[in-house]
Structure 1
C-alpha cells in the first residue's frame, strides 16, 4: 500500500486542527491515579484500563481487559485489534506497546500543584509543558500513538497498517506478568514488528529510534567475619574486618584504564559501526555535553570510549550501595561483624548474565581471608537488546521521523533497560522499534513530571508519518 502525499497531508492537518481535543483526552487519563505499586490504587489502575479500552473502541478496534495471574494477581492488560479475525489483507501488521500505570508521587510536598490535576504551563524558557504524574512516562507517549490513529481514521476511515495494541498496567512495579502473558497469547499478538513508545530523544531537535538497550544483572553481597560486633581496641588488627575485605574485593573490579577485570567480561561484544559512532559524536561532541547537567565533565569508564559510548554501547559495573558498622551520628569504635554492598552490571548484546554472575561471585570469593564468609542474593538477569539492522522497517521509520523534524533521525542506544523489547523478541519473535519523544528534563519518576506540548504535538505527527512509512515498507 502506498499512501498518497495529499492523504498524508490531510491527516497531518487534522492533527494540527484538533490538538486541543487531543490534549483534553490526555488530561482525562492523567487525572486517574493509576499507581501500580500501591495496593490502595488497584481500583484506579482498573479504571485507567477501562478508560484505555473505551478509547480503543472509539478508534474502531475490538478491545478488552485481560486479567493477569502468572506471577501474582496483578493489574490487567488492555488488548485491542484494528483488524477483525480472519482479515486477509496484506498490509504490514504492527503491535504497539505502552503502559498506563505510573510511579508513586512521593514526596508530594515538592510538587508545585497536585500531581493528578494536569495543567499546561510555561517553563523557565517559555516552552509550554504538560505537568502531571504520567505526563511523559507513559501516558503522554501512549496517547501520541492513539491520537495519530484517530487522525487517520477521521480523515480516511482506516489505518495504513494493521494495528494491534497492548497496554500494560504493571510496568512500574516490575512487569512480572508481561512475558508469560505474551507467551500464552503469542498466536493472537503475532505481528510483523513491535512499536514501543517509552523512550526519548537525543536532544530537543533530534528524533531517533533506540536500537540497542543494556540488560542488567545485580547482586547483593554480605560478608561476615566475627560472630558479633567487636571492640576495636580489643580486637582491632587481629580480627578480620569485613568492611576492609569487601572494599578490597570491590576495588579490584576495575583496572586503572576503567575496564572491568572479571575474566571474559568483554567476550562476544562488539563496537557500533563507525557511522553510528560518528553520528553520536555529532550529538555529543565531548564528554561534558552529556555529563555537565550532573555536575561532571570527564568520563570515568573505559579509556578510548566517549561518555555517550560508555553509557549507550559499553557494559558497566557499578557499586550502588555499601554499608557496615556504625553509621549513626558521632563515633563508635566498633569492629563490625558484617558488611554489605549492592553491585549492578549493565550488559550489552553478546554478554550472558548468568556467566557474569558466576564470575563476579568467584571474584569476591577469591578475595576472602579464611575467617570470612559471603552470601549472595541475585537480582535480575536480563541480556542486552539490539534491533536487527536487516529490519525492513527501520530505514522507513527513520526517514519518516526525519521528514517530520527536519533533522536527520538518529539510531541511538540506551544505558537503561526496557524489558519489553527483549520479551517481545523472546515470546513473539519480533523486532521492537523504540520511538519516543520524551526529553531529559521531563522529570520522570520525580515531582513535577512534565511532557512538552511540542513533544506531544510532534509526537502525534511523527506517528502519522511512521504508520504511512511502514505501510509502504510492506
Structure 2
C-alpha cells in the first residue's frame, strides 16, 4: 500500500474540491424533525449514497418508517480490522431565522480577523462537515492506493436530531451486516483548536414533554381570573420546585446510581487547565449556575441535570391578550451519568409532576427519547492506536475527555451490536451547533480529513 504521505498530500491538493462537495451537501435543508423537509432528508441521503458509490463503496439508501439510512461497504486487506463509521446527515431547525447573518442553507466561507476561515451553514459542524472528513479520507486513500487500509462500513442516519425513532429497529434488523470490530463516531469536539480529543464518557439523556390542562377552553382573565386554575402558573411552580437553592435536583431518587468523581479522573481533568471564566464568558455569562461546590467540568461531564428547553401557553403573539390559557406545556430534558436508569428517571419526573397537581388540573406526558450514560474502557487497544495517530497530526498530543452531551447510538452499538466506539470529532466549543450561525473551522475540515487518514492507517496497521 502506498505511503501514507501520498494520501495526506492528496487531501491537501484537493481541499477545494472537498469543500465544494461539502457545500453541495450543506445546501440541502435536511431538517428531520419537520415533516415539511422529508423530501430534503431523502435528497441528502441519496446525495451521500451517490458520492460513496462514486468512490467505490457498495452504497445504498435504506428505507425506514421515518427518514432513510445510508449504508455503504468497502473491503479491506485480508486480516485487516473492520470498522463501522457512524454519522448523521439530518440537521436541527434554523429558528430564530432572523439571527442568522447569512442564509442557513447558503454556505458561506467567512474569514476572521486572525486570518482563519470558517464554514457557516446549518449542519456545517453537526454533522455534515464532520462526516465528510471521513468520506474525504476514504476518497484520498482510494485515489492514491486503489483501496482502504481497513474494511469499512459507513452508516449514516437521518433522524439523530429528532430522537432516532428508526435507529433501534434498523440495528436489530441489520445486525449481521453492521457488525464490526469497532465503531468510529464523529459527532464530537476537540479539546481546543490545537488539541485533538477522544471522548471516553457520555452523559445519557431523557426527554419529556409535559402538558398541564385545566379549563375546557381559554378564559377571559377578567371574568374568570382568581377563580379558575391557571395552567401556566401551575406548570411554572412545578418546574421551579425541581431545583433547590444549591442547584440540586429535588426529584426523589434522582441521584440513585450517581457516584462521586474518582480522584484519578479528577486529577486528569484538573491537568487540562480549563478556564471556567473563558468557558462561560464566550456566551456572555460569568457565574456557574449548577450544583454549588462542583467545578464546571464536573457539572457538565460528571453530574446529572434537569433543564427546561421550552415552555409555552396562552397568547404569545404580538400585542396583548388577557386570557387564562386552557393548557400550558414544557419540554424538559435530563442528562444522566454513571448508573442512572432512564426509565426510573422518567417515572420519577412524572410522579413529581402529578403529585403536585391542584384540583381541576391534569397532566399529559410525551416521551422524547431516553438513553443511559456511557463510559468507554481506558485500556482499549483501539484507543491507543487512534490517540497516537491524532497526536501525529495536531500541534498538541491527543487527550481523553468526557462529554456533557449525549450520543445514544454509542450505547446502542454496545448493547445491540456488542461494539465499543471511538468518539473522534473535530468540532470546536464555539461552533454554535443547534444555534444561529453554526460554523465549522476550515482547519477542522482540513486536518480532520488528514486525521482520519492517519487513524485508518493506524487501525489497519499501515501507518509509518
The TM-score range, normalised by the shorter chain, is 0.7 to 0.9
Q: Separation in 1 of the partners of 2:19 and 2:293?
A: 45
Q: Separation in 1 of the partners of 2:187 and 2:257?
A: 28
Partner residue, 1:9: 5
Larger radius of gyration: 1
2:134 is equivalent to residue 148 of structure 1: no
Residues 401-442 of structure 1, C-alpha deviation per residue, up to 9 Å, x if partnerless? Answer: 122113132222222222222222232121222211112333
Indicate which of 341, 346, 349 corresponds to 2:338. Answer: 349
Indicate which of 292, 296, 299 corresponds to 1:303. Answer: 292
Secondary structure at the counterpart of residue 180 of structure 1: helix
**What is the deviation of 1:398?**
1.8
Secondary structure at the counterpart of residue 294 of structure 1: coil
Q: Separation in 1 of the partners of 2:206 and 2:419?
A: 24
Worse-matched range after superposition: 151-160 or 317-326 = 317-326
Q: In structure 1, list runs of 5 or more residues that go unmatched.
A: none
Partner residue, 1:379: 367
2:46 is equivalent to residue 46 of structure 1: no
Partner residue, 2:428: 439
* Distance verdict in 2 for CA 1:263–1:446, change over 3 Å: closer
Note if contact 2:97-2:436 (Cα within 8 Å) is conserved in structure 1.
yes
Partner residue, 1:206: 195
Partner residue, 1:274: 263
Q: Separation in 2 of the partners of 1:113 and 1:119?
A: 7
**What is the deviation of 1:310?**
0.8
Q: Separation in 1 of the partners of 2:225 and 2:59?
A: 69
* Distance verdict in 2 for CA 1:65–1:340, change over 3 Å: closer
* Distance verdict in 2 for CA 1:104–1:431, change over 3 Å: same
Output the TM-score relative to the length of structure 1.
0.85
2:393 is equivalent to residue 418 of structure 1: no
Alignment size in residue pairs: 460
Q: Separation in 2 of the partners of 1:226 and 1:356?
A: 29
**What is the deviation of 1:95?**
0.3
Worse-matched range after superposition: 399-408 or 19-28 = 19-28
**What is the deviation of 1:200?**
1.8
Residues 10-32 of structure 1, C-alpha deviation per residue, up to 9 Å, x if partnerless? Answer: 32223223323322332333344
Q: Separation in 2 of the partners of 1:325 and 1:134?
A: 33
Residues 234-266 of structure 1, C-alpha deviation per residue, up to 9 Å, x if partnerless? Answer: 984x87766665455433322333222233322
Partner residue, 1:80: 72
**What is the deviation of 1:299?**
1.6
Q: In structure 2, list runs of 5 or more residues that go unmatched.
A: none
Note if contact 1:92-1:162 (Cα within 8 Å) is conserved in structure 2.
yes
**What is the deviation of 1:327?**
6.8
**What is the deviation of 1:453?**
1.3
Output the TM-score relative to the length of structure 2.
0.87
Note if contact 2:110-2:117 (Cα within 8 Å) is conserved in structure 1.
yes
Residues 197-243 of structure 1, C-alpha deviation per residue, up to 9 Å, x if partnerless? Answer: 1222232122112222222223344455677758689984x877666
Secondary structure at the counterpart of residue 245 of structure 2: coil
